[in-house]
Amino acid sequence: MGNTIVWKPAGTAKYAAQLIMRILREAGLPDGVINLVYGDGAEIAEIALADHRLAGVHFTGSTQVFNSVIRKVGSNVDHYRSYPRLIGETGGKNFILAHGSADVAALGTAIIRGGYEYQGQKCSAASRVFVPASLWPALKTILCDEISTIRVGDVSDFSNFMGAVIDQKAWRKHMRVFEEAKASSAKILRGGEGDQKDGYFIAPTLIETDDLEAPLLREEFFGPIVTTYVFRDSDFENILERIDQSGACLTGAIFSTDRRIIDQASSGLRFAAGNFYINDKPTGAIVGQQPFGGARMSGTNDKAGSIWNLIRWTSPRSIKEAFVPPRDYRYPYLSSSVDD
């Protein structure tokens, strides 16, 4: 489409990026269209964002870094030859909300798959679950029993459901979460442990908290940590409102067999999740079928994998050609008034 790109991958994704570039070049991509660069992110951003030719930024990462990109572009706005377009996908604190009518077995499966697949290292991973008290005893038993069966190890062994987290930095972050949880009123029901002897492994962890303001329900950990909050069944509408008030709005799910409740949640959480799921885990969007992205503090919701994202990178031009151009500035009504 005429656009050229400077691609700066995360340091932990550099090998995958290099492989993708090799595949694209073998497929016929001309040199100079996509320019893969490595190095310190802040240093590269300083150079790229200061260039007067900058046309836009397509960012995936933390909210804090995207905020710094926006500030940097804003401070340079008088320097650019056109206004840069900014697209950001910054993750979220994704939720599963259950109603008393939910299928408990399906709910349990969604929590485990949504929270622990890929070690929870998805921006869409389920990390907070709101459960009515009437369902909690049965759901708690299902989750604790099933989590105990999850195998963690080398991903080349397909009998393992989970592998290691991405690096030591992530491992240490998750271990700090466990320490803080143990020091609070929260209860670690399963997991809460890590091992870095043969890799940076974190056990699939289930935590229960009774504090709606706890960091466990507000901060993104990007790991296999799921926190549950149990509410009175009569407080369903209040919990729905609290979820809607949260800043991260990437993915979310409602579990209920009552269509009226599903409709209520779909409406009440209209702006709480860019990708909303009904009786399914809030992960695994299919490219081409479920355009992906969220708003508020989860990004600009430009829907990767869709026409909406694609057209953000076009610059339309309207052309009009007159085949019989007028030769007198006077419109017919002007001539008529003069004659009268």
Give me the residue spans of the domains in the chain.
5-90+294-311, 94-278
Instruction: Please list the ranges in the chain whose pLDDT falls under 70.
Output: 336-340
Strands 126-132 and 201-202: unpaired
Q: In angstroms, how far is CA 208 from the centroid of its own chain?
A: 23
Among the options 26, 46, 89, 249, which is catalytic? 89
Neighbours of 163 (CB within 10 A): 18
Contacts of 250 (CB under 8 A, 6+ apart): 89, 91, 92, 94, 123, 124, 273, 274, 275, 293, 294, 298, 299
Classified as helix, coil or strand, 324 is coil
Query: Would residue 89 show up in a list of annotated catalytic residues for this protein?
Result: yes
Class of domain 5-90+294-311: alpha beta
The pLDDT score that the predictor gives to residue 340 is 52
How many whole angstroms separate alpha carbon 230 and alpha carbon 132?
Answer: 6
How many whole angstroms separate alpha carbon 129 and alpha carbon 228?
Answer: 5
What sign results for the dihedral spanned by CA atoms 96, 99, 100, 102?
Answer: negative
Q: Which of 238, 250, 215, 60 is nearest to 132 (CA)?
A: 238
What are 243's strand-pairing partners?
none
Among the options 123, 208, 220, 249, which is catalytic? 123
Q: Which of 30, 224, 38 is nearest to 118 (CA)?
A: 224
In the numeric block, the tokens 């079928």 are attached to: 289
Class of domain 94-278: alpha beta
H helices of the chain, in order, are 14-26, 41-48, 63-75, 104-116, 136-147, 168-182, 236-245, 259-268, 307-311, 332-339
How many whole angstroms separate alpha carbon 122 and alpha carbon 117?
Answer: 9
DSSP letter for each residue of 117-180: GGGG-STT-EEEEEEETTTHHHHHHHHHHHHTT--BS-TTSTT-SB---S-HHHHHHHHHHHHH
